[in-house]
Amino acid sequence: MTQIAHTRTADTASTGASVDEQTLRAIAQRVLWLSAAIVDAANRGRPSSGGIKVGGHQASSASMVDIMVALWFHELTSHDRVSVKPHASPVLHAINYLLGDLDPRYLPTLRAKGGLQSYPSRLKDPDTVDFSTGSVGIGATATLWAAMSHRYLRSHFPGTPTGGRMISLLGDAELDEGAIWEAVADPAVAKLGELLWVVDLNRQSLDRVVPDIQIERLQGMFAAAGWQVLTVKWGRRITEIFQRPGGQDLQRRLEEMPNEEYQRMLRADSSEIVDRILSGGGSDALQALLRDLAPLELTEIIRDLGGHDLGLLVDTFDSVVPDRPTVVFAYTVKGKGLPTEGHPNNHSALLTESQMQQLAAVSETSLDDPWTAFGPDTAEGALCSARSATLKRAPVESTPEFTVPTELGHPHRKPISTQAALGRLLADLPRDAPQAAQRVVTCSPDVASTTNLGGWINKTGVWSVQDRHDWFADDAERVLRWSERVNGQHIELGIAEVNLVGLLGELGATWSRWGQRLIPIAFMYDPFVSRALEPWSYGIYAGGQSILVGTPSGVTLAPEGGAHQSITTPSIGLEQPGCVAWEPAFHSDLEWTFLHAMDQVGREDGTSSYFRLSTRPIDPALARVPEDPHLLERRRRQSVAGGYRLSEHDPATDDVTLVGVGAMMPEVLEAAAVLAETGIVAGVVCLTSPDLVFRSFQQRGDRAPGTGGSIIDELFPAHAAAPLVTVLDGHPHTLSFLSGARGDRIRCLGVTEFGQSSDLADAHRIHGIGTGSIVDAALGLTGR
């Protein structure tokens, strides 16, 4: 193994007298058994009707057992929250079972319907899971963003429950993920002393023993980012051997051998260990030391890694400083305590029945009765009971109710883009709806000034872990007042969209974690939504509700060229679970739909939203907003339902129906006027959310009561069949489902190629979405 250099070493720490290691070891052995039995029951004990392997990760679980036992049975408090690496979920369930937090009927249900999930799931598992993991790297960084979110809450709402440490248990292979280092490098992270990461350094990935883990480089990267770096490499038993004559030679030999050689030695017979250590030669003192050790004793000693020394782990966790984040590198053996220990292909290997029986014997349990817990009169049972009481959490109390208005009531007279309209809405919110505004927190990756957030930031300030002096406060020419303080409501991150949506997910989960409802809104350039999609989607899966604003969008941002012109995002938004996708065209639509989306965030029955906005100013007169209050309210309701008809004639008289979205509505309306001059009656439908219209289409056949929105039938009444021309500044297949609304013939116009720098008219011509293309498509469908 590679020689180690680190900021601080806990290898020689002494065990605190309060730690009963014998009891902890017995619990660890039972947890090892239970985690293996959970996987075994799901595979060998459950009939497979589809012939598909259930799977599980007994070896990956085994390497984490001692680390997790040291935490749950000694270190954690009821305020701490822990993210557990995906493949160690059976260990988490085993511990929760021993602590009385999981009914035994769930133990055989891993990866079964209604049972334990394949990876820890905050919303779907029946026991306590603090963070959903499974997407490698993202679950680990979630603790970082949760810590920042809790800091934000405490600085704004004094009644926020106390927060403890945010702990991530991650595999060493997760450190290959770029999301890890994007998060670690954020400057604000160095101030988050409640962060504790523990790396299970078993030096194996899914396919292999990793040949060169450059531990010094990893330690240096964390240290350079301001983290405390601790390493538990060797256990106390082998450390004592290292102090004997020849011990330094033994340590040097073990640390200089490649990872593969060390792992192979773990698989060798005890009679071979001495020869393997001396294969490259050895001093007389080393040879004498090895002769003094019995073969079985030496076999145990070379496995004495720090990540399996319970007393050393406890001492290491006790030595963590509170003023900066900490990472602990814990050396472990993948599959520790199992017959597959150290095998290069043990990642998904399952123990046989005979191997399970052997493990049962060592664990003082039985394969016939695998779920035996400790008796209350035993030391282990007493510790489980005491820790259960210590870790019991107070119920989460809900935030006092507040109202998000349905509209702000300001007139919309001048041409304005939807991006600018949202900036104006947020700037007006503190005056018009102060209770709702207090719960809004905006985020951006260094694009606040270019996404019209200036007015909001000037009124609310920028949030910082601590107040910072504003050296430009006396600059009269400054337009954007960048005042950083603990009560600001805008959080600015670096140019890393993955970080942005990671924070967004955790800000969106505060209502269920700590009972404080926030309305988190993130802004990024729409072309980069796909870059951030996977972590944002995972945040939604984990229960985070938020609003993601992608702006500017499409080829309408003509001069910027192809790199900044989004094409697939409308379809992405339509397909994203747990989210409603919006693309309003007019200021009035933006206000109605965005306030509605705000109202849906941070609730038990809530949902996230994605807004695709534009920098193209559009005349609000084109929206033909009714003045009659009843008709106005009808328009608002249709807008938040997904769309409305702009044409005032009876739909039954349509020769063709033009369907537009977002920034393309001026061309759609102009095309309708051109067609009218040729005697063709063109109906016009403006969609604010193709997503909701598609859901209405899908729900038609749903027989469950209370389902099935009617907006698609309002927009495309069955008695008024007409061919359809759809147009949007995105991929045309997004609206292709509309042909099924009534069985109409359809032409879908949109963007299917990378853009290029041009003016707006040229961009529309290049991609066939301008007025002329719409007219031509309509004429073709009507046979004119």
Look at strands 682-687 and 643-645 and give their pairing: antiparallel
What predicted TM-score, i.e. pTM, was given to this entire model? 0.90
pLDDT at 562: 65
Sign of CA dihedral 706, 708, 709, 711: negative
pLDDT at 1: 40
AA identity, residue 58? Q
CA-only gyration radius of the chain, Å: 31
**Is the peptide bond between 158 and the residue preceding it cis, with omega within 30 degrees of 0?**
no
DSSP-assigned beta bridge partners for residue 440: 519
Contacts for 185-189: CB closer than 8 Å, 24+ residues apart? 185/225, 185/494, 186/493, 186/494, 186/496, 186/499, 187/494, 188/148, 188/464, 188/465, 189/144, 189/148, 189/225, 189/226, 189/325
Sign of CA dihedral 575, 87, 306, 388: positive
The stretches in the chain having pLDDT less than 70 are 1-18, 49-51, 204-213, 344-348, 474, 476-479, 558, 560-562, 701-708
DSSP state of 234: B
pLDDT at 559: 74
pLDDT at 346: 63
DSSP state of 398: P
| Secondary structure (3-state) at 152 | helix
With contact defined as beta carbons under 8 Å apart, do 538 and 135 qualify?
yes
AA identity, residue 93? H
Sign of CA dihedral 592, 593, 596, 602: negative
